[in-house]
A and B are shown apart, each in its own frame.
Chain A
Amino acid sequence: MTDVAGAGPGPRELRLAAVDPDAARDHVPGQPDMWAFVLFEAFLFTAYFTVYMVCRVQDPELYLRSQAQLDLRIGAFNTLVLLTSSWSVARCVQSAREGEFRSALTNAFLTLAFGLVFLVSKVLEWAHEIEKGFGFSSDEFFSFYYFLTAMHFLHLLIGFVVLGVVVHQLWSPARRSQELVETGATYWHTVDFLWVIIFALLYVMR
């Protein structure tokens, strides 16, 4: 794998920034460009959520009836797993800032493992719903259910590539760009943040 260009300051500079309160206050975690991506995605998903809400308001009975077919416990389990993965990726960033790269790597792999648990549980949930006869075109609620969860699934798959870049950076002392580690963590948090809203809209809201 090639180094991603524009790696920015190394771990030493950012460790100094973490110690110096003024520098820490001025420091935006990761590439500022990734925050632009967070903004683009926030706009895009806001548009999807708005369309979902508008459709739901037009036929609330159908949405409630179909929503009852989903297992809230699976949604809650998914949320718990992703929130834990956010916690481990945050620990990964913190360890890298402190120069504890073994610990940072362990936390990056933990994040990958939590992500995998989420993916497997989501595939099993889809298979279960399809077995019950609720497919992508069964009704409007299930169209949104598969659409939103599949879009999120795609983001999570990209998240594995992003975590691969983080692991690649942490692996060798010749790389270890703190900026890229934080950029990867920012992406992962975004995926987590999107899931929390999807969970609330699809599973919880009555």
Chain B
Amino acid sequence: MSGAESGTVPARPSGSLLRKIAWHWRHDEKRELWIGWWTLVVFYNLYGLLFFVVARTQPPPSPSLAPAEIVQWFDDRHHGLIYGYAIVFIVGGATAIMNATLAYTMRRMSVSRAFAYSYLVIYALATLPGMLLMGVTCTVAAMRPDRDPALMSWLYDLAFLSFEGTMGVFLIGSLIWMVAVLLDENRVFPKWFGYLSLCNALTEVVIAPAWIFKDGVFAWDGAIAWWIDMVVFVTYTTVFLTLIRRLILREDFGTGVLPDLPSEREAAEAAREPSGLLGTAG
């Protein structure tokens, strides 16, 4: 039980950051939700850093590299792949907390629990093609660089097809979230987020041609299959992180409509009573 529930909550300290964190840890009734949100923020940033900067497996290389070039590609990234994916495997379990936080948003809605449960199952499965399979394959290739180039090419294809080509797994997840948002009567998220989820879901479809093409805009490194989708994905992720933060700030732990933020409530009340404000000003 948190301090907030015990009824003896000391005032929030205004001193150092550490003291503030300690206060939230001991007394904030939204502690678990904030842990979930911060896990999302830290994980996505770490994920970007590890895949783009440390392992350098993103943006993806060309699918049409020759076997000798593929061996060279793995060799160039040897330490990045080994150490980068070692960290990925350590923090990979954080997806459980992330998925729980995302599912919580649907549990707070007025819709059936089936939405949150379906979403949890899909995203638990998606961790495999969306992260782990590529990590395992790349580190297997990096661990013994003296392997036959034909085998290295096989690992290269497996790594990128399993990662880029399976984004369709997320299609149904986005659609579940979309329907939940559109049906919800508790105003957990604005309706436009539902429509943005549809937009994101449609871009997951676009990746399917990566199984057919070895070069051009539809290949796994192509302008349409990767670059445009990445812009949509980053936008979508930034938007839902912002909206979940607002949800936590608004959360009243009830089952009905989520209240507005206090600042927005005051603005709405002020807009409803313009004469009072004018009278004060006058």
A residues contacting B by CB (< 8 A) are: 2, 4-6, 31-34, 36-37, 40-41, 44, 47-48, 51, 55, 136-137, 140, 143, 147, 151, 154-155, 158
Contacts and interface: CB of A to CB of B under 8 A. Distances in A.
Nearest to B112: A2
B43 interface: no
Interface string B59-90: 00000000000000000000000000000000
B190 interface: yes
A42 B213 CA distance: 26
B213 A37 contact: no
Q: Interface size class for chain B? A: 20 to 34
A51 B212 CA distance: 19
A37 B202 contact: no
Which of A31, A32, A158 lies at the interface centre, i.e. has the most chain B CB atoms within 10 A of its CB?
Answer: A31
Given A33-B191, A44-B203, A147 B218 contact: yes
Given A33-B194, A143-B216, 14 more contacts: A2-B183, A5-B110, A5-B185, A36-B192, A41-B199, A51-B228, A55-B217, A137-B212, A140-B216, A143-B209, A143-B213, A147-B224, A154-B202, A155-B202
**Could you tell me the dominant secondary structure of chain B's interface residues?**
helix
B41 interface: no
Contact of B218 (A5, A41, A143): A143
**Could you tell me the dominant secondary structure of chain A's interface residues?**
helix
B228 A37 contact: no
Nearest to A143: B218
The 4 closest A-B pairs by CB, nearest first: A37-B195, A33-B192, A33-B191, A36-B192
Contacts of A154: 202, 205
B169 interface: no
B223 interface: yes
19 contacts: A5-B110, A5-B185, A33-B190, A33-B191, A33-B192, A33-B195, A34-B195, A36-B192, A36-B195, A37-B192, A37-B196, A44-B203, A47-B231, A48-B224, A51-B223, A55-B217, A143-B213, A143-B217, A151-B205
B232 interface: yes
A36 B182 CA distance: 14
A4 B182 contact: yes
Contacts, number: 68
Contacts of A48: 224, 228
B164 interface: no
Contacts of B184: 5
Contact of B232 (A44, A137, A147): A44
B243 interface: no
A6 B191 contact: yes
B3 to A, nearest CB: 36
A32 B194 CA distance: 13
B126 interface: no
Nearest to B196: A40
B199 A136 contact: no
Contacts of B191: 6, 31, 33-34
Interface string B198-222: 1100110110010011001110000
B227 to A, nearest CB: 9
B182 A5 contact: yes
Contact of A37 (B199, B218, B223): B199
A36 B192 CA distance: 6
Contacts of A6: 185, 187, 191
A6 B195 CA distance: 14
Contacts of A37: 192, 195-196, 198-199
Interface string B101-122: 0000000001000000000000
Given A33-B190, A40-B199, A151-B202, A136 B212 contact: yes
A111 B267 CA distance: 42
A137 B213 contact: yes
Contacts of A51: 217, 223-224, 228
A2 B203 CA distance: 27
Which of B191, B198, B199, B212 lies at the interface centre, i.e. has the most chain A CB atoms within 10 A of its CB?
Answer: B191
Contacts of A158: 198
